[in-house]
Amino acid sequence: MKKAEKILVAMSGGVDSSVAAAVLIEEGFDVTGVTMKLWGGSSDTGCCSVSDVIDARRVADQLGIPHHVFNFGDEFDAHVVEPYVAAHAIGETPNPCIECNRHVKFDKLFRRANALGFDMIATGHHAQITEENGNFRIMRSVDQSKDQSYVLHMLTQDQLQKLRFPIGTMTKKQVREKANALSLQTAGKADSQDVCFISKTKGGRQLFLEERLEMTSGQVIDTTGTKIAEVEAVEMVTIGQRKGLGVSGERNPRYAIDVNVQQATVTVGSKDDLFCQETPIVNLHWVGNPDSDVLDVQTSAHGKTSPARVDGRVIWEEPRMKVAPGQSVVFYKDNEVVGSATATKTTV
């Protein structure tokens, strides 16, 4: 009889990873659960609270599998929290969940799993992995309303061949039905959608950054350079923002179309000024060969795609809203992730 493959399942304390572990047990894997302790500060959001660890352990007990807690706090601080603060300091809008996946969940965890003799790791992400002629591909989830392939664009071939997303072929409704059928502790638990190290009840993002940055007060100017208002912290403004700029009560709405921390200015314009034909990018990466076809391009975790070509920059088929510098730009073809980049500074 063939020995069951050993698989380490990242259990966040939510329903998705709980069901992922249950599915793998049914498929005959030798399953062990692990919860990563990432954030050492106070947390009432995301997946880093003490209660989440308890929930994951209780589900593991229900499923009859071992459960461990790995403390990756140092890596999380170095690769997620510090870059998050640094990005705001230069007027960018970072995506910490992507950096957590890149450096912690699919790097540090992989290395720890290999050292402990596991054959594979698995998570509860809503995405799929397919393989053709030895080439692994990242595909959207069956449930596209919950699809998380956008935050997985950095995965490599070496990682994909040792990775499983057991619920990628299930809808969220099916995941909950499965959890209820198994009477899992997390069956009715709400999804976490917030940044895990930003507290909702203790000042939110602004207080978090104020404790780590010297905020820059600045001028709000229009496209002619005329001062029309002031902001207390330029670092808190993002492209497309309307509220909190001292101009939201005007008859004609104005939006942030440029943020310049060095010059301590926020430029505002009309909604039409928010639109652009091209988006400058850095860190361009193709999963396979560069693709010159029109692709579906997604610029936020749950945003709609827009058709565009990629030629050292993203050239939109139709003008679309500016992408905040620091955000990931992910390229799709027929629900497959074919490449990615990072939006960089745009000019007014």
What confidence tens digit (pLDDT) does each residue in 171-230 have? Answer: 999 999 999 999 999 999 988 767 888 877 777 888 999 999 999 999 999 999 999 999
Average pLDDT over residues 316-326: 95
Question: Structural domain boundaries of the chain?
Answer: 6-181, 215-270, 273-343
CA pair distance 150, 296, nearest whole angstrom? 12
Class of the CATH domain delimited by 215-270: mainly beta
Class of the CATH domain delimited by 273-343: mainly beta
pTM for this one?
0.92
**Local structure of 225: helix, strand or coil:** coil
Q: Of 25-34, 194-203, 281-290, which has the strongest mean pLDDT?
A: 25-34
Q: Which of 273, 283, 268, 275 is nearest to 306 (CA)?
A: 275
**Which has more pLDDT, 134 or 336?**
336
CA pair distance 165, 335, nearest whole angstrom? 16
Q: What is the CATH number of domain 6-181?
A: 3.40.50.620
Question: What's the confidence (pLDDT) of residue 1?
Answer: 38
Give start and end residues of each alpha helix (H) in 71-182: 73-76, 82-89, 96-100, 109-115, 157-160, 172-181
pLDDT at 45 over 60: no
- Name the average pLDDT for the chain: 92
Strand boundaries in the chain, DSSP class E: 6-10, 30-37, 67-71, 120-122, 127-132, 135-140, 163-164, 218-221, 227-231, 255-260, 265-269, 275-286, 295-298, 306-310, 313-321, 328-333, 336-343
Token pair 């594979």: residue: 120
CA pair distance 172, 221, nearest whole angstrom? 45
Question: What's the confidence (pLDDT) of residue 348?
Answer: 45
Question: What's the confidence (pLDDT) of residue 43?
Answer: 55
Local confidence band at 28 (pLDDT 50, 70, 90 cut-offs): very high
Question: What's the confidence (pLDDT) of residue 40?
Answer: 73
pLDDT at 41 over 70: no
Average pLDDT over residues 338-345: 94
What positions carry a catalytic annotation? 100, 196
Strand order in the sheet with 30-37: 67-71, 30-37, 6-10, 120-122, 163-164
Report yes or no: 41 and 218 within 8 Å, Cβ to Cβ: no
Share of the chain above pLDDT 70, in %: 95
Question: What's the confidence (pLDDT) of residue 39?
Answer: 84
pLDDT at 46 over 70: no
Same fold, 6-181 and 273-343: no
181: left (phi over 0), alpha (psi -120 to 50) or beta: alpha
**Which has more pLDDT, 276 or 251?**
276
